[in-house]
């Protein structure tokens, strides 16, 4: 197996160049196999050979850059599912929280959705394809996924724990194709402003995005708030197609440079746009990366959209994915992305990658040391800067759902405290708090987070073993109220209702909505370019 795997890697990566350096490669191969043999023979305990080989490949790739990576067969399969936007399963996202397999989200119209599985349910038991019931307590998410997924048309049994119910609720769910929806919200904020939230770029994103634009246009949309916050990227072709929806035919969207054949590529808008006259404000934050940076960078360089928020992550390495032996895969950096004005989006990294990978945890400032070499010009002559993400035209900090909470507030968010609390309103399918607090009334759309609810939430933190920082709690009160409202809305009334109400409280979004005068001026510049025949 080892020889097959290594030969696949060598052949897939290096091609004809291997022949020119065969002696050197053979020597290094002998060194590696000798070290591997010594570990397999003499290490204090027996170690599976795949663990050794996979670890060696990961180590090799980690000497290159933060994004060249190895995928074991399970990881490679999951990565392909995300790219394709569909798979066979139940249609849920799960996470292991304190040893419990907890449902974090249920995809609309999925098998799990149709059976009534809810966000916050705990999968306590899984009946595998062999008919054996397995206690899922202490499982990792990966272990649970392996049992929950399976061929289309087969069934899996689960026993779930749900707040407000004693004992387990048994369900049998038929596995089916699950479409991963990437448009996570599309609605009218007011009579003229449409809003679209894109969570990632998969093979279905442009189709979803186009349908959302059409729906909003039919409702009277005359300007768009395009939310790319926390979007980690994805398929390049989808970023190009979505950019093309706003740019005149012929405009450069992105270009790449590298040293392998076909690494130097230019990608332009090739289709006639139906939304040239639509003013666009693009929301980004420190977790907007890769394909989302390509879109926001292209719209900014062509003065086609006003970019608002935080400086983006700065990931712009071209990753070529190779399938190797036994269903495993590798992603190798083969080039770099540049915006139309020539900006390098990629942020520098240190040798250990620590500073690079913890970027999103650090405080951001509007002030940044910039060199003249990084400065480029947009189509209209505005200054923009490269060398580390896309800098917004209008800066406002907001790392968590548009807010800038203290470390305590971020802890509440990370520990799923708001999700846990929202589960109280789901008990027995109604909209009441637990019977412990009769002073709180049933909820309906447009409810208010009262002082009594805030106190009840505060008391609930004891169950999560979260120590309350009173000063930070007061400082984060607006954020805490907004997140309580958001998660309860998601549970009772759906994601569009939740995000619509959150936008009304979101400081970044409200700041963005106040800058459409500049977005309108940019749209006029594009109209003038098109009228002059500058394609």
Kindly report the number of other CB atoms within 10 A of residue 363's CB atom. 7
Fold of the domain spanning 86-179: Pdz3 Domain (2.30.42)
d(CA 403, CA 479) in angstroms, rounded, equals: 6
The pTM of this model reads 0.82
Contact between 204 and 219 (Cβ < 8 Å): no
d(CA 350, CA 475) in angstroms, rounded, equals: 35
Q: What pLDDT shows up at residue 320? A: 81
pLDDT tens string 62-99: 888 888 888 888 788 777 766 665 667 898 989 888 88
Q: Residue 177 forms beta bridges with which residues?
A: 88
The segments of the chain whose pLDDT lies below 50 read 1-18, 428-440, 535
Closest CA to 76 of 319, 318, 331, 334: 331
Closest CA to 504 of 517, 519, 489, 492: 489
Q: Do domains 86-179 and 183-398 have the same CATH topology?
A: no
Contact between 325 and 302 (Cβ < 8 Å): no
**Helix H or strand E segment including 414:** helix 407-414
Contact between 499 and 229 (Cβ < 8 Å): no
What DSSP assignment string belongs to 358-390? TGGGS---S-----GGGEEE-TT--EEE-SSSP
Give the start-to-end residue ranges of the domains of the chain: 2-63, 86-179, 183-398, 407-505
Tokens of 241: 């197609």
| Backbone φ and ψ of 68, nearest 5° | -70, 125
d(CA 369, CA 360) in angstroms, rounded, equals: 18
CATH class of the domain at 183-398: alpha beta
d(CA 280, CA 294) in angstroms, rounded, equals: 16
pLDDT tens string 132-155: 899 999 998 888 988 898 888 999
- What residues act catalytically? 290, 301, 315
Judged on CB neighbours under 10 Å (0-12, 13-18, 19+), 393 is buried
Q: What pLDDT shows up at residue 426? A: 64
338: CB partners within 8 A, 6+ apart: 254, 255, 256, 257, 316, 344, 345, 386
Judged on CB neighbours under 10 Å (0-12, 13-18, 19+), 530 is middle
Angle (CA) 128 130 131, round 5°: 70
CA 80 to chain centre: 15
Q: What pLDDT shows up at residue 481? A: 98
pLDDT tens string 20-77: 556 777 888 888 889 888 998 988 999 888 888 888 888 888 888 888 888 888 788 7
Tokens of 31: 């060194």
d(CA 119, CA 97) in angstroms, rounded, equals: 13
Q: What pLDDT shows up at residue 150? A: 83
Q: What pLDDT shows up at residue 437? A: 44
């Amino acid at each position: 197996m080892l020889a097959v795997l290594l030969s696949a890697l060598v052949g897939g990566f290096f091609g004809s160049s291997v022949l020119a350096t065969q002696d050197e490669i053979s020597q290094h191969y002998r060194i590696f196999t000798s070290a591997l043999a010594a570990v397999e023979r003499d290490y204090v305990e027996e170690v599976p050979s795949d663990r050794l080989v996979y670890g060696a490949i990961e180590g090799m790739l980690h000497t290159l850059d933060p994004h060249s990576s190895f995928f074991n067969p399970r990881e490679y399969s999951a990565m392909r599912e995300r790219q394709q936007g569909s798979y066979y399963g139940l249609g849920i996202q799960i996470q292991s929280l304190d040893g419990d397999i907890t449902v974090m989200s249920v995809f609309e119209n999925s098998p799990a959705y149709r059976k009534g599985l809810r966000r916050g349910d705990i999968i306590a038991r899984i009946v595998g394809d062999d008919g054996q019931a397995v206690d899922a307590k202490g499982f990792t998410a990966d272990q649970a996924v392996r049992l929950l997924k399976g061929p289309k048309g087969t069934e899996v049994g689960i026993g779930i724990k749900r707040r407000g119910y004693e004992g387990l609720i048994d369900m049998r769910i038929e596995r089916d194709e699950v479409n991963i929806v990437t448009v996570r919200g599309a609605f009218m904020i007011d009579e003229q402003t449409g809003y679209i939230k894109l969570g990632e770029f998969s093979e279905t994103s442009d189709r979803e995005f186009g349908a959302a634009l059409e729906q909003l246009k039919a409702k009277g949309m005359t300007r768009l708030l395009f939310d790319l916050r926390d979007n980690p990227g994805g398929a390049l072709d989808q970023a190009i197609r979505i950019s093309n929806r706003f740019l005149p035919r012929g405009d450069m969207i992105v270009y790449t440079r590298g040293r392998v054949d076909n690494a130097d590529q230019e990608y332009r808008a090739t289709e006639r746009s139906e939304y040239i006259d639509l003013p666009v404000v693009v929301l980004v934050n420190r977790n907007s990366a890769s394909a989302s940076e390509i879109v926001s960078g292209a719209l900014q360089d062509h003065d086609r959209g006003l970019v608002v928020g935080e400086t983006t992550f700065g990931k712009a390495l071209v990753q070529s994915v190779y399938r190797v032996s036994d269903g495993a895969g590798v992603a190798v950096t083969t080039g770099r992305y540049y915006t139309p004005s020539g900006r390098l989006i990629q942020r520098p990294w240190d040798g250990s990658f620590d500073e690079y990978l913890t970027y999103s945890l650090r405080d951001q400032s509007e002030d940044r040391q910039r060199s003249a070499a990084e400065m480029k010009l947009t189509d209209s002559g505005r200054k923009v800067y490269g060398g580390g993400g896309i800098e917004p035209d209008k800066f406002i900090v907001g790392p968590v759902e548009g807010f800038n909470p203290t470390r305590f507030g971020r802890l509440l968010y990370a520990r799923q405290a708001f999700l846990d609390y929202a589960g109280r309103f789901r008990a027995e399918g109604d909209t009441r708090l637990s019977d412990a607090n009769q002073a709180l009334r049933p909820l309906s759309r447009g409810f208010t987070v009262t002082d009594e609810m805030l106190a009840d939430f505060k008391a609930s933190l004891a169950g999560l073993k979260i120590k309350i920082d009173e000063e930070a709690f007061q400082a984060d009160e607006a954020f805490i109220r907004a997140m309580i409202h958001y998660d309860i809305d998601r549970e009772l009334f759906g994601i569009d209702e939740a995000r619509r109400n959150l936008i009304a409280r979101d400081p970044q979004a409200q700041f963005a909505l106040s800058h459409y005068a500049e977005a309108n001026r940019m749209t006029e510049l594009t109209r003038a370019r098109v009228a002059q025949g500058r394609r």
